[in-house]
Structure 1
Amino acid sequence: MQDTPRGARLHIAIFGRRNAGKSSLINALTNQDIALVSDVPGTTTDPVYKAMEILPLGPVVIIDTAGIDDVGDLGALRVERTRQVLNKTDLAVLVIEPETGITAYEHELAADIRKRSIPIVAVAAKSDLVTPGQVTAAGWSAEIGEPVLPVSAKTGQGIEELKRAIIKNAPDNWEGPPVIGDLLNPGDTAVLVVPIDLAAPKGRLILPQVQTIRDILDHDAYSVVVKERELREALANLRGKPRIVVTDSQEFLKAAADTPDDVWLTSFSILFARYKGDLETLVAGAKAIDKLKPGDKVLIAEGCTHHRQADDIGRVKIPRWLRQTAGGELSFEWVSGGDFPRNLNSFNLIVHCGACMLNRREMLHRLSVARESGVPIVNYGVLIAYVHGILPRALAPFPSARLILDE
């Protein structure tokens, strides 16, 4: 992995009406022609993502969206896609078109952004086209309730000021806790159990493993990486006991057998449950597994699409374990990528992946949707530890989550 993954980048989304200048603004921000620009309204039909760096923020994702005033049946779908982008937006840039100024569309969108507690940076695009006597950014600032920066993608006016405004308004808490670093002291050793099987891309490690290794190094600790068959020997060869053993969830039982009882043991998926969302909510969801009965509906949600293996964890193994727990057949539905149903009331349980491809805000949104629907939600790693009876041990590094399990 050479680049910061999308899920670990600050998400900055550009919103506005059709032909307001959103795509031109993104091209000016990135100094690249990455967004299709045309005088024809509705050129952008689906969200477009561009990874870049804005110092001192670091790695970010810029998202271009379809116009919030699109019309017709297809236009309504595009507007819905645009509004879904808010679920993953850390900072919103609201683009105002100077000819028509602020309309009901901008007011409604700004209210929705504020409701979600997302910082807003408002800009008046195409400032090079403003004519004498026309309402200017100063007037729009009072109307929209946000400072409005005049910018021009054509001349470059205001682009550097916009970058500074983005830096100033970026939220401080968008990243959440470290993956593992706060569990370690400098000089501690963390042993990572990394199976190399058909699901592991040739020549690479999967994303959560790489991010965990990097976080260990960032906190001045030592990382020892072994396959599941080598864990016992690796532990015996260490001069002292490691602080923690982190395993792939599917090797929990073997890792638990080989790890001394006085050494912390958890999984990558449990680490990411905390890093990307809310571990306590997912642990509470695990307790609902015992309440499943034949005929209940279970939603299995994956944050990405990937090649399915013969014994796929989400399609085969987890359904098998849940059927065994429920004592009969269950009704399963699957969603992947950006799809996540709004109406969850018909489900008895949601099982989510580790969310390594989602950013923290989107995962927190999904957890809130589940809570509002009254449906318990658990992730892969927490579920696997629970059905195998080792979740109490896997939660030893996380006392508040362990408390919820014990209640």
Structure 2
Amino acid sequence: PAISVISRIDESTAAASLAQVIEARTGERPVLVSAATGEGLAALRAEIARHLPEDYRARSITAEVCESGDAVLLVMPQDIQAPKGRLILPQVQTLRELLDRKCLVSCCTTDCLPAMLASMAKAPDLVITDSQAFRTVYAQLPADSRLTSFSVLFAAYKGEAPFFAESARRLRALPADAKILIAEACTHKPLREDIGRVKLPRLLKKVLGDAITVTVTAGRDFPEDLTPFDIVIHCGACMFNRAYVMSRVAACRSAHVPMTNYGMAIAALLGILDDVAIPGVD
């Protein structure tokens, strides 16, 4: 992969127009940097991280929440946001890893969960659900089953689970006029009932009050100055590699801004975070 860089921007007035030409021809936005002032160097490091191969320092998605031979039930709503005829990437990756690890895997949609549980000879060792179905699945969870979500698993796989969990626990203590940044990795056209743009902001306002301000960014758009925000809530980042997500974690830490992800935020807002299995968190 190649990264376009325009340097010495402190000495040139043509950098912005040149960047537009390069982006129009290549489809990639150049990074503008100045070695003299340091401007753009953080963005350049982020771009290098974004272009690293997906298997760079590969980690396991499920190793810390289940073992070989465990019965694992995947609850996967197939709503308007699910691509027709396919599963979303986190579901595919999780399913494949569980099969490779010789787990006993079952799958169902949320509405079929009662029938699935009734058909099983014993309760599953682990239930992995879409975070949007946390409330419904938690209400039906067998006493001996552990619960987590695809988003929570990817928080540990792509990011820093302990930091995310600690930050999620701070959600309910935010000021009434809190400013919240929701960061999506995808740049898809928003759909009806979109999780990042509709469902999560609605839940935040229901729990925290209407005085909060929610800002949504997508793709590579991520503010350089995070200090105006009280917390950052990131998606599962299935479209980013871990190094790139960790560059955002580092940016939040540097700005002393808490950062969590969709799954942990939803669990915290529903009051069930302590009952959710989080890799790397006791």
Q: 1:285 touches 1:378 (CA, 8 Å); kept in 2?
A: yes
Percent identical across equivalent pairs?
A: 37
Question: Tell me, what secondary structure is at the counterpart of 1:183?
Answer: coil
Give the 3-state SS of the residue equivalent to 1:191 in structure 2: strand
* 2:106 partner SS: strand
Q: 1:73 aligned to 8, 15, 40, which one?
A: 15
C-alpha distance in 1, partners of 2:56/2:5?
29
Sort the Cα spacing of 1:328 and 1:236 in 2 relative to 1 into closer, same or farther, 3 A. same
1:303 aligns with 2:245: no
Matched letter for residue 157 of structure 2: Y
Q: Specify the code of the residue in structure 2 equivalent to 1:174.
A: R
Shift of 1:329: 1.8
1:195 aligned to which of 71, 74, 77: 77
Number of residue pairs aligned between Structure 1 and Structure 2: 261
Hey, what does 1:64 align to over in structure 2?
2
Range with greater deviation from structure 2 (333-342 or 355-364):
333-342
Supply the distance in 2 between the matched residues of 1:86 and 1:314 (Cα, whole angstroms): 26
Q: CA deviation at 1:391?
A: 0.9
The alpha-carbon deviation at position 309 of structure 1 amounts to: 2.3
Does structure 1 residue 355 correspond to structure 2 residue 227? no
Question: Who is 1:174 aligned against?
Answer: 57
- CA deviation profile, 1:5-56 (whole Å, cap 9, x unmatched): xxxxxxxxxxxxxxxxxxxxxxxxxxxxxxxxxxxxxxxxxxxxxxxxxxxx
Match of 2:195 in 1: 313
Once the two structures are TM-superposed, the CA of residue 311 in structure 1 deviates from its matched residue by: 1.9
Q: Contact conserved, 1:244 with 1:264, CA < 8 A, in 2?
A: yes
- What is the SS of the residue equivalent to 1:306? coil
1:401 maps onto 2:272 in alignment: no
Q: Does 1:331 align with 2:213?
A: yes
Give the structure 2 partner of residue 343 of structure 1: 225
Residue 392 of structure 1 deviates from its aligned partner by 0.9
Q: Residue 170 of structure 2: SS of its match in structure 1?
A: helix
- Over 3 Å counting, the alpha-carbon distance change for 1:239 and 1:85 in structure 2 is farther
**Cα distance per residue 1:101-149 (max 9 Å; x no partner):** xxxxxxxxxxxxxxxxx9xxxxxxxxxxxxxxxxxxxxxxxxxxxxxxx
Point out where structure 1 has 5 or more consecutive residues left out of the alignment: 1-62, 93-117, 119-169, 403-407
Q: 2:31 aligns to what SS in structure 1?
A: helix
Structure 1: distance between partners of 2:212 and 2:127: 34
Please list, as runs of the form range in 1=range in 2, the aligned pairs for 1:81-160 lying within 5 A after superposition. 84-87=43-46, 89=48
Secondary structure of 1:300's partner? strand
Counterpart Cα distance in 2 of 1:348 and 1:91: 25
Q: Note the alpha carbon deviations across 1:205-255, whole angstroms, 9 max, x for none.
A: 011000000110111112211011112221222223322000001111111
RMSD, matched Cα: 2.6
Q: If the length of structure 1 is used for normalisation, what is the TM-score?
A: 0.59
Deviation at 1:85, TM superposition (A): 4.9
CA deviations on 1:47-96 (whole Å, 9 max, x unpaired) are xxxxxxxxxxxxxxxx212245475322578333895353253699xxxx
Query: 2:15 is aligned with what amino acid?
Result: D
Aligned counterpart, 2:255:
373
1:261 to 122, 143, 159: 143
Q: Secondary structure at the match of 1:64?
A: coil
Bigger shift: 367-376 or 308-317?
A: 308-317
Query: CA offset at residue 401 of structure 1?
Result: 2.4
1:161-240 map, 5 Å: 174-175=57-58, 177-240=59-122
Partner letter of residue 3 of structure 2?
Answer: T
Taking CA–CA contacts closer than 8 Å with sequence separation of 6 or more, which of the two structures ends up with the larger relative contact order? 2
Give distance in 2, aligned partners of 1:306 and 1:79. Answer: 23
- Looking at structure 2, the residues matched to 257 and 401 of structure 1 have their Cα atoms a distance apart, in angstroms, of 23
Bigger mean CA deviation after superposition, 71-80 or 327-336: 71-80
User: Is the counterpart of residue 391 in structure 1 residue 273 in structure 2?
Assistant: yes
For 1:346 and 1:182, how far apart are their aligned partners in 2? Answer: 35
Structure 2: runs of 5 or more not aligned: 20-28, 34-39
State the distance in 1 between where 2:73 and 2:155 align.
19
1:251 is the counterpart of 2:189: no
Distance 2:85 2:210 in 1: 41
Q: In the alignment, is the contact (CA less than 8 A) between 1:88 and 1:361 conserved in 2?
A: no
Q: Check conservation: 2:154, 2:236, Cα contact below 8 A.
A: yes
CA contact (8 A) 1:193 1:225 kept: yes
Q: TM-score, normalised by structure 2?
A: 0.84
For 1:296 and 1:241, the matched residues in 2 are separated by 41
Is 1:184–1:219's contact at 8 Å kept on the other side of the alignment? no
When residues 359 and 253 of structure 1 are mapped into structure 2, their CA distance, relative to the original with a 3 A threshold, is same
| Shift of residue 173, structure 1, vs aligned partner | 6.5
* Structure 1 residue 186 displacement after superposition: 2.3
- Report deviation, 1:269: 0.3
Q: Which deviations, in whole Å up to 9, do the C-alpha atoms of 1:328-350 show, x marking residues without a partner?
A: 32222221101111110111111
User: Does the 8 Å contact 1:246/1:268 carry over to 2?
Assistant: yes
